[in-house]
Amino acid sequence: MGRTVGIGHQDFGKLRMKNNFYVDKTGFIKEWWESDDEVTLITRPRRFGKTLNMSMVEQFFSYNYAGKAAPFEGLFIWEDKKYRDLQGTYPVIALSFSDIKEPTYEGARKKICKIIQLMFNRFRFLLEGELLSEKEKSDFHRISADMEDYMASLSLKMLSEYMYRYYGKNVIILLDEYDTPMQEAYMHGYWTEMAEFTRSLFNSSFKTNPYLERAIMTGITRVSKESIFSDLNNLKVVTTTSLKYGDCFGFTEKEVFDALDEFGLIDKKCSVKDWYDGFTFGNISDIYNPWSIINYLDTGRFDTYWANTSSNNLVGKLIRESAPGLKQIFEELLCGRTLTTELDEQIVYDQLGEDEQAIWSLLLAGGYLKIKSYKLPADECGTWNPSYILELTNFEVRVMFQKMVLGWFRRSIANYNGFIQMLLQDNLKLMNIYMNRMTSEIFSYFDTGKRPSSSEPERFYHGFVLGLIVELSDRYVITSNRESGFGRYDVMLEPKEPKDDAIIMEFKVQEPEDEKELSDTVNSALRQIREKDYAATLKAKGIPKAHVRSYGFAFCGKQVLIGAGHYVRDVEIADEIQETDISSDEMAIHMFIENGQEFGASRAEILQKMMKKFDLTQKTAEQKISKYWKD
């Protein structure tokens, strides 16, 4: 029987004293201390043990825990007398910005100031006696949620000095989740103000603070130096690609397999690896998501535990509102393929909506993507530009994104599901009804604010394609913007079973100068499918024309018209004749005759079918056949 699995513990001492399940990460203390870096910024995905490790560091070094070494006994760090003597010998300031999730700058600023005030309250004993002057005591009392900016920026520096006087030692500052306010500021539109406020606070606390011994900041992302770290030239940045601390956050494969063995689940190791492995930190691969592992040990059931701990709002917003090109790349990732790109791990939040590379960097830092491999090619000038091959991290992440994409259509889920069912049934009338209901309800959900979907409908329909990939991936191999025949089709659904039809979709935005009606745009889309022979790839794989369906989607703002021009089985004649559902115009008749002839139908068979389909007299039908029949 394994140890008790306590979910959500972030206090190192409580976790250890209850003998809850714990993987020894005290090696981090030694590695960090011996690195002798003054200020260390460590980025790791959420729920990867950052907060627990910060609690561990605080309780190891802080005077407040002197003589309280029991939680460290039996762990790696306690084997070395040098470190046993070091425990409880430093003043420590430990605070977290994890709760700064306010919709306004004023609210976020006030909450940061309140957190600092609560920190000061823990050290009110400094006000006793004559350690501080009357002016300094007055300043101490001025630390509040409503303090002025200059007081807020100097607050941690002031407290460091006061603690130095009391303890006779410089302080260690630990700041957990430093970038949470940055993410919220980006999401809610107050990035500039928050960056200025934070830059001033960090400069005073970590750069011009003579009473600082060392500091650690943790977060998910590496915010760009120009944004908030421009003055910190003493900052050691450790990201997911850095070699330092590779096994200090998250569980190694050996640690996971040992845990599975302890809990009698070792026979599930292959499934556990598929679900929760995939992270790489530095040169250490096969790092597992600790939050999901702990929950799995507790329940014995596979689920998206890590993904369910957060709303993933920022990631969802960036992908949903992204340009068509980025959505197409994400389509590839969702289908199990890879992305090759250069990366800059410094996140410039106020450029996320414009810089595609920044989005991939954010997804990598957040744990949604992993590095499969990388190259160091030199360009023509001899400059080395690392190129990374990225893919979705593991099955849990893939499931999370599938749920996220389907969530985009939740507010119109009945129409979305209706469209999918009518597409499978080839019911063109109801496809049009459901699609137009859907676009009227959720079209603007894909807006960026700067570029509304009504002017760039591609933002919507590539989100729609992602939905198809999620919804129909069990029945179809879905690809988009690939070469086939003499061009690049928009979307192709290749069936996995012979009983299903293949489907080609072409999306077009109406050009009012050239196309007076939406039906003209539909005809143009279908003509393009035919003339560029987009079905060539399907033909090469042995899929007959009778099992290839083609649809043209025409957009004008939120209005959509879908037309079809494809081959179906004809039970009345042995051969197969193309039917088209767009209109009774000359092009449709031409296509009907040409394809009937191609499939080997006789003139008489085509004549009878054409009279019925287009409601033509026999004389008119004979004239059309004579016009378009090829000898």
Q: Residue 111 pLDDT more than 60?
A: yes
Q: In the predicted model, what is the mean pLDDT of residues 37-42? A: 96
Q: Residue 200 pLDDT more than 60?
A: yes
pLDDT of residue 116: 98
Answer for the pair 20, 6: CB distance below 8 angstroms, yes or no.
yes
Q: Residue 377 pLDDT more than 80?
A: no
Q: Residue 22 pLDDT more than 80?
A: yes
Q: Residue 190 pLDDT more than 60?
A: yes
| Residue 411 structure tokens | 């507010």
The pLDDT tens digits of the residues spanning 408-431 come to 777 788 888 899 999 999 998 899
The angle subtended at Cα 514 by Cα 508 and Cα 517, nearest 5°, is 70
Question: How far is residue 590's CA from residue 596's CA, in Å, rounded to a whole number?
Answer: 10
- Where does the pLDDT of residue 488 fall: very low under 50, low under 70, confident under 90, or very high at 90 and above? confident
pLDDT of residue 255: 97
Within 10 angstroms of residue 243's Cβ, the number of other Cβ atoms is 10
97 vs 313, higher pLDDT: 97
Plot region of 55 (φ>0 → left; ψ -120 to 50 → alpha; else → beta): alpha
What's the one-letter identity of residue 341? T
DSSP string, 351-409: GTTT-HHHHHHHHHHTTSEEEEEEE--B-TTS-B--EEEEEE--HHHHHHHHHHHHHHT
The pLDDT tens digits of the residues spanning 261-310 come to 999 999 999 999 999 999 999 989 999 999 999 999 999 999 999 877 76
Q: Residue 577 pLDDT more than 70?
A: no
pLDDT of residue 585: 56
Residue length, the chain? 631
pLDDT of residue 344: 81
Answer for the pair 510, 554: CB distance below 8 angstroms, yes or no.
yes
- Where does the pLDDT of residue 379 fall: very low under 50, low under 70, confident under 90, or very high at 90 and above? low
Report the side by side order of strands in the sheet with 369-375: 339-341, 387-392, 369-375
342 vs 207, higher pLDDT: 207
Q: Residue 393 pLDDT more than 50?
A: yes
Question: How far is residue 549's CA from residue 533's CA, in Å, rounded to a whole number?
Answer: 13
What average pLDDT is seen over the chain? 87
Q: Residue 541 pLDDT more than 60?
A: yes
pLDDT of residue 64: 96
Q: Phi, psi at residue 224, to the nearest 5°?
A: -55, 145
Q: Residue 608 pLDDT more than 50?
A: yes
CA 320, 326, 331, 334 torsion-angle sign: negative
CA 319, 321, 326, 327 torsion-angle sign: positive
pLDDT of residue 576: 34
Beta bridge partners of 554: 508, 561
What's the one-letter identity of residue 171? V
Question: How far is residue 238's CA from residue 218's CA, in Å, rounded to a whole number?
Answer: 10
pLDDT of residue 584: 39
- Where does the pLDDT of residue 592 fall: very low under 50, low under 70, confident under 90, or very high at 90 and above? confident
- Where does the pLDDT of residue 571 fall: very low under 50, low under 70, confident under 90, or very high at 90 and above? very low
- Which residues, 6+ apart, have CB-to-CB distance to 477 below 8 Å? 335, 493, 494, 496
Range with lowest mean pLDDT among 98-112, 149-163, 394-408: 394-408
pLDDT of residue 438: 87
Q: Residue 575 pLDDT more than 50?
A: no
DSSP string, 563-629: EEEEE---TTSSS--EEE-S-SSHHHHHHHHHHHHHTT--HHHHHHHHHHHHT--HHHHHHHHHHH-
Q: Residue 452 pLDDT more than 60?
A: no
Q: Phi, psi at residue 171, to the nearest 5°?
A: -100, 155
Q: Residue 315 pLDDT more than 90?
A: no
Answer for the pair 428, 562: CB distance below 8 angstroms, yes or no.
yes
Q: In the predicted model, what is the mean pLDDT of residues 313-335? A: 80
Q: Are strands 171-176 and 92-96 parallel, antiparallel or unpaired?
A: parallel
- Where does the pLDDT of residue 570 fall: very low under 50, low under 70, confident under 90, or very high at 90 and above? very low
pLDDT of residue 226: 67
Q: In the predicted model, what is the mean pLDDT of residues 441-469? A: 67
DSSP-derived letter for residue 439 is H
Q: In the predicted model, what is the mean pLDDT of residues 190-198? A: 94
pLDDT of residue 441: 81
- Where does the pLDDT of residue 125 fall: very low under 50, low under 70, confident under 90, or very high at 90 and above? very high
Residue 349: HSE in the Cβ half-sphere, 13 Å Cα cutoff: 26
Q: Phi, psi at residue 71, to the nearest 5°?
A: -60, -20
Q: Residue 572 pLDDT more than 50?
A: no
Q: Residue 580 pLDDT more than 70?
A: no
- Where does the pLDDT of residue 503 fall: very low under 50, low under 70, confident under 90, or very high at 90 and above? very high
Q: Phi, psi at residue 188, to the nearest 5°?
A: -110, 5
Q: In the predicted model, what is the mean pLDDT of residues 335-343? A: 87
pLDDT of residue 578: 38
Q: In the predicted model, what is the mean pLDDT of residues 243-266? A: 96
Q: In the predicted model, what is the mean pLDDT of residues 378-400? A: 80
With tokens 């600023």, the residue in question is 109
Q: What Rg do the C-alpha atoms of the chain give, in angstroms?
A: 31
Q: In the predicted model, what is the mean pLDDT of residues 204-216? A: 96
Q: Residue 453 pLDDT more than 70?
A: no
The angle subtended at Cα 471 by Cα 494 and Cα 308, nearest 5°, is 140
